[in-house]
Each structure stands twice: as structure tokens, then as C-alpha cells.
Amino acid sequence: MTTDPLVPRPSTGIAAATTDLTKVYGSGDTRVVALDRVGIAFREGEFTAIMGPSGCGKSTLLHCVAGLDTPSSGSVRVGTTELSTLDDRRLTRLRRDRIGFVFQAFNLLPTLSALENITLPLAIAGRRPDRKWLDRVVSMVGLSHRLDHRPAELSGGQQQRVAVARALVSRPAIVFGDEPTGNLDSRAGADILGFLRDSVRELGQTVVMVTHDPAAAAYADRVVHLADGRIANETYHSTSHQA
């Protein structure tokens, strides 16, 4: 792998994958099979959208692959790392160093500036931000003139840009988004989707996004449909949305 952070990484290989991933919540009358033997691979440098009706297991899939939830059975690998082999400390470190997450709620710290929010995960990891990379990510999401602002001084769309930059700045193996435009108007949502798209095209980022909105899914290279905890079908876009 190149050491120059400005050179996109090659789009070969698998960023994360599952085999027979099953997640069961509850037991007896309240037993719910949220994921039923799901096998899926996310290629490096690819933008995947995961769609499906409410309750079909989209968030559970994201949380299991991101190491935020524990499978009942089956396997999850991030890169070549099998998550079930990690103790809590190593899993926390993997999440911190190799996973970015953008939630529907922006989840910014209100007392920190935009810049401090973006670099907080690196600060927690004791890592110094790569200045060039930080500048590139910040300018890509159009925040160069808003870095001193606190979240309350930013629009929802700008706050989500901060969350996107925060997810990208550590150069994670994968950025996950769970309905990242769910709280935004269509214009601000389109901006965020465009930035995620740009991160794939310009930075070689791997992105996996849950959405129930076909217009949002149109930004992805690949759309995977879940139904009742299983993969129902998937489609590839020959040309990605460029808007």
C-alpha cells in the first residue's frame, strides 16, 4: 500500500466481508432473527447502498460489520481480521482506527468546534492529523470557512458534513452510513451523498450506506436489497451518479 495519503489506494481486494452472519435478538416469544446467514463482501473503493423495508436487518448488518454489535453466529472480517478473535480492547482499537461511521443524528460534541469534532477521534487515538489529508477532506466537504464554528452555529447539512469529515479523516478501511441523509432536506442530503460519492471516486474510500431512499441509493455503485434478514438481490450501476 502506498504511504502517500494523497494517492488513492488501489481498488482491489475486500474491505470487509461476512460469512453466514446470523444475529438473533431475544428468545422464546420475543425471538427475532434479524440476520439469517448473510454472506456479503464489500470491495475496496466501492460504494454500496443497502436497502430494504424497516426492520429487515439493515442497521443490524452495519453494526455487526462495524464491530458495534456481536453476531450470534457466523463470521465478520474487516480486511483480513476476523472480528470474533479480538478481545474488547482490540475490537475498540479496530473500530477507532479502521472504521468510520456517519449516523442519521449527527452526534457532534456541542462544546467543540467543527475542527475539534473532526479531529477528536484522532486525538483520542493519540494520532496527529495528517495536515494535507485533513485539508483535503475539509475542503472536499466545503468546510474550510466553518472550522471555528460550534455545531449550534451550523446548519444540519453543515453538521453532517462535519460528521462525514470526521469519518474520513482517519482514512478508515470502511465508512458506514446509517441513513446519513435521514435528517436532512433533499438539497443538503444530495450534498452529503455527493461527498460520499467523491470520497469513493477521489480518495478511493470504501463506503457502505443504509438507506430506504432510491434516490440516495442511486449514488452507489451497487445496491443490495435485504428482506427479512436475508439478501434478496443486488444490482450494479454501470455508471455512477455524478451529480
Which residues contribute to the site for Mg ion (CB under 5 A)? 58-59
Name the minimum Å distance from CB 99 to Mg ion: 17
Q: Which does 206 bind (CB under 5 to 8 A by kind): Mg ion, ligand ADP, none?
A: none
Positions that interact with ligand ADP (CB under 6 A):
25-26, 32, 34, 52, 54-60
Query: Taking a C-beta distance cutoff of 8 angstroms, is the pair 51, 57 a contact?
Result: no
Query: Taking a C-beta distance cutoff of 8 angstroms, is the pair 62, 99 a contact?
Result: no
Nearer to Mg ion, 45 or 71 (CB): 71
C-alpha cell at position 109: 460534541
CA distance 171 to 161: 16
Nearer to Mg ion, 48 or 158 (CB): 48
Nearer to Mg ion, 58 or 95 (CB): 58
Name the minimum Å distance from CB 211 to Mg ion: 10
Q: Which does 10 bind (CB under 5 to 8 A by kind): Mg ion, ligand ADP, none?
A: none
Name the minimum Å distance from CB 149 to ligand ADP: 32
Name the minimum Å distance from CB 65 to Mg ion: 14
User: CB under 8 Å to 33, separation ≥6 — which residues?
Assistant: 22, 23, 24, 229
C-alpha cell at position 85: 478473535
Question: Would you tell me how many other CB atoms lie within 10 Å of the CB of residue 171?
Answer: 17
C-alpha cell at position 201: 471516486
Nearer to Mg ion, 59 or 170 (CB): 59
